[in-house]
Structure 1
Amino acid sequence: MNDILIFLPGIITAYSILIGACLSPGPAVMMLMGLATEQGRTKALTACAGIALGSVCINLLTLLGVGLLLSEVAWAMLILRLVGTGYLLYLAYGAFKKSFNPPPVTASKTQSHSLARCFSTGLLLQVTNPKAIAFWLAITSVGAVHNAGITITTVYVFGACIISFVCHGAWALMLSAETIRRLYSQFRRWVEACLGGFFVFVAAKMASS
């Protein structure tokens, strides 16, 4: 129990960054919205499962790579935090840019696929996305489970997987409805402005920690 409490603040911070990023829809959400609108919500949720598994793969690889790096190079954490801070500031810039000039929320056109194809599409979309890799490096730089045991690390990775699936699934299901899409477009600039401020806050906290 005490071990969990020690790592809990870092885990909460990492999850907050993940949720904040998921609140700003990108190509994956547009693809999922197209699947939900044109082929049904079951296929969209299947693709969400693929995206979540892709997140697990990147998360584990970054955790493993960072762990090996930190065990060999004492000042690596400082470099990693600077990289994470820089990427969070990049996310803040993107959010503020969308706030001033919100792009239209339009579903990507999709071809009819089987459930297996939908799952693999979501998985490949995630693991081949350079921004997703940079994003997970930024989250890893928080050091949420650095030096944690296998149990806490497993719970952390599983929790991140659930967050990825739920957030992407919620976007796909909500934005597949025209009424919700119009409502979101109306308030999107305020959502993005709040996200930009959140990313700046977390970046400043990371840089000064």
Structure 2
Amino acid sequence: MTSVVLRLALAETGYPALRSLPERVEVLLESLNAPPRLAAHLRAVHDVAWQLADWVQQHYDAARFDRTAMLFGAATHDIGKTIHPNELSGPGSAHEQAGYELLLAQGFENSSARFARTHGSWTEADIGVEDLLVSLADKIWKAKRVPELEQLVVQHLSAVGGQQSWQVFMTLDDELDRIAADADQRLAFQAKYPVAA
């Protein structure tokens, strides 16, 4: 049975208003009786990923990427924390492989499940722009800047967009600053939900 608090974490609009997770992700979280804090975190990262996807499409329309897969990846990237709930309030990466395996076991394709595995390791050989954007959303939602990750995004966008890297960086930097400005509200939204299911 889904807890009332989990249902609230999935439905409350928050400030700033956060988009809902895809319905199939909500169903999955409810079936796993996920911790409410995890649902709140996934909503915050998913919302930021949506903003990043809009920004890429507006400024770099030559950058072809699977928006649906990327948004699903943002909505499920930490799903392994249902298995490793201690990593909701402390460090750890065991949830990454566990989340990938959990999604595969739930019938999701590798192309959807991979984000659970790749969101913390963006330098692997098989990383695409969708993976980079999920990783970036997972950092900037709380105003954390990771220069190495941002540089990988810049390299990809400058290669397909025909701009110099510094031009792409300036545009990306402005967008990340804009998104980061609401980090305190997203952090407060997440913090009001308990870690325990």
- TM-score calculated relative to the size of structure 1: 0.30
Structure number with greater Rg is 1
- Please state which structure has a larger fraction of its residues in helix: 1
Greater length-normalized contact order (CA 8 Å, ≥ 6 residues apart): 1
The TM-score normalised by the length of structure 2 is 0.31
